[in-house]
Amino acid sequence: MKRPLLSFLVIALTLIAGPALAGLRVVQGEGFAPIQGKGTAAARERALAAALYDAASRLQSKVRGASQLDINGRLTEEMTTTVAAQLRGYEIIKDGQMGSNWMIVVEAIGEGENEGSCDPNRRVDLDMRHVSIRVAPGIQGHANAAMYEGLARGVEALATGGTYVVADQRYLPPLRGAERNHASRLDYAMQVSGDVPSPSGYSLSGTIIAEIDRNDYYIAQSKAITVSISLKLRDNFNGVTIANIQEQQVIPGSTKVYGFPSSGFDNMPKVNLAPLFDKVEGALNAVLACKPLRAVVLSHQGNKLVLSAGLNNGVNPGDYFLVNGKGRESWQILKIEDASAGRAIARPIRPGRPVPVNSLVEMLL
C-alpha cells in the first residue's frame, strides 16, 4: 500500500538537535484516527502520523516551561512538550479498523540525544598509520630521540586508554581510500602481514614537527622547543576524512646568560610528549568516543553472519545491531549469539530480509 506522506512525516517528526551524542533504540508507537465517511485513506494517514509521533516521543521528549506576571500581578505558567528525536525507519506491525477508528502500531528505529555519559565498554577500532617526524636543525641528542619515543608512548597511551582498540600500523603509508576496495599496490603485503585496515574503524596519519624557539634579551637568551602535531582522521569504511586534529606543545628550556659558559646541546630542554598526546586523545574523544559502535558483515555462515567486532570492542552475546538498508523500511536487526576477541556471530531476527556482505551495522542501546 502506498504511503504518500512518508517523507513529509519523517521530516516533520525528526528534529535534529545539533551535534548531540546519540544512541539508537527500537520503540513502538500507536496511532488512532476517526473514520469519516466511507473512505479510510485519510484516517489511515492521520493514524500513521500519530503513531510516528508517538514513537518519536517515546525516544525523547523535552518539557519547556515559562512563567509570566500579568499587569494585575497574577502569575501564570505555561508548559509545552516537544519531541526531540531522529527516526531512522519504521515498520507497521498492526494496521486496521477498530470500531469507528483506524489504528496503526509501528515499530521504529529511533535516534535521540544521550544526555548521560558514553558507554565505557564500547571500544572503537583505530589504526595508527604512518606519522612522519621532522626535527629542525639544532635539536639533537636526547631531544631528537625523545620525539620518536614520544610517538611510541602516545600510541601506547591511546591503546591503554580504554576507548580504542589500536592497531599499530605506523610502517604502512596513510590510507587513501583504496585499500578496502583491494586497489592499493600494497594490498598484497598487507594481506600477508594481516595488517589490513579495520573495515568499520578509523585511521590516523600525519606529521610531527619540532622547532626551536629562541628569544634574545639584553643579557640572556631563552630556548624552548615547539612541537606541533597534525593528524588526519579517516573513516575506513567510506574513505572520508572526518576530522583534522592539530595540537601544539611548547616545552620550556633553559636560559643562557651572556658572558657565562654554555653546556652546548645538554642545555636543550627535556622532551616529554605525554601532554601533547593527552590533547590528541581529547580531540579524538570529542569526535569518536560517543559514536555508536560499528561493525561490518564479513561473511555468511548458513543463516548467521560474521561481524568484524567482538569482545575487544565491548560486543557480548545478547547485544543487538541495526542494519540500515536503502529504504526506510528495509532495515534489519541482528542479535549477537557468540563472540570472540575480534569477531561476533549474529542472527537476523526478521526472516526474509537478507543482509549482504560488507554491510555496515550499528550497535543498538
For the full predicted model, state whether its pTM sits above 0.75.
no
Q: Measure the CA–CA gap between 365 and 356, rounded to whole angstroms.
A: 23
More confident residue, 193 or 54: 54
Q: Measure the CA–CA gap between 147 and 208, rounded to whole angstroms.
A: 8
For every residue of 89-149, DSSP letters joined together read: EEEEEEEEEETTEEEEEEEEEEEEE--S---TT--EEEEEEEEEEEE-TT--HHHHHHHHH
pLDDT of residue 18: 35
| Single-letter amino acid code for the residue at 63 | V
- CB contact at 8 A, 199 and 297: no
Per CATH, domain 294-363 is 2.40.10.170: yes
Q: What are the domain boundaries of the chain?
A: 6-113, 124-288, 294-363
Q: Measure the CA–CA gap between 203 and 281, rounded to whole angstroms.
A: 14
Distance of CA 94 to the CA centre of its chain: 34
Lowest-confidence segment of 150-154, 226-230, 263-267 by average pLDDT? 263-267
More confident residue, 186 or 129: 129
Q: Measure the CA–CA gap between 200 and 214, rounded to whole angstroms.
A: 45
For 176, counting Cβ atoms within 10 Å of its Cβ (0-12 exposed, 13-18 middle, 19+ buried), the class is: exposed
Q: What share of the chain is helix, strand, coil (3-state, %, to 5)?
A: 20, 45, 35
- CB contact at 8 A, 297 and 362: no
Fold of 124-288: Double Stranded RNA Binding Domain (3.30.160)
* CA dist list (Å): 171 to 127, 130, 131, 174: 11, 6, 9, 9
- CB contact at 8 A, 203 and 129: yes
User: What grid cell was written down for 168?
Assistant: 599499530
DSSP 359: -
Using DSSP's 3-state secondary structure scheme, residue 163 falls into coil
> What kind and span of H or E run contains 56?
helix 41-59
Lowest-confidence segment of 106-115, 215-224, 332-341 by average pLDDT? 215-224
Burial track 30-43 (b if 16+ CB lie within 10 A, e otherwise)? ebbbebeeeeeeeb
* Angle, in degrees to the nearest 10, between helices 141-160 and 274-288: 30
More confident residue, 252 or 74: 252
| Single-letter amino acid code for the residue at 183 | A
**Look-up: residue for cell 500581578?**
73
pLDDT of residue 252: 79
For 177-233, the pLDDT digits (tens) are: 544 444 454 555 555 665 677 889 999 999 999 888 776 655 556 677 889 999 999
Lowest-confidence segment of 120-124, 143-147, 250-254 by average pLDDT? 250-254
Q: Measure the CA–CA gap between 67 and 76, rounded to whole angstroms.
A: 6
More confident residue, 318 or 20: 318
Mean pLDDT score across all residues of the chain: 76
Confidence of residue 115 (pLDDT cuts 50, 70, 90): very low
User: What grid cell was written down for 300?
Assistant: 555468511
| Of 162, 170, 164, residue with least CA distance to 202 | 164
pLDDT of residue 21: 43
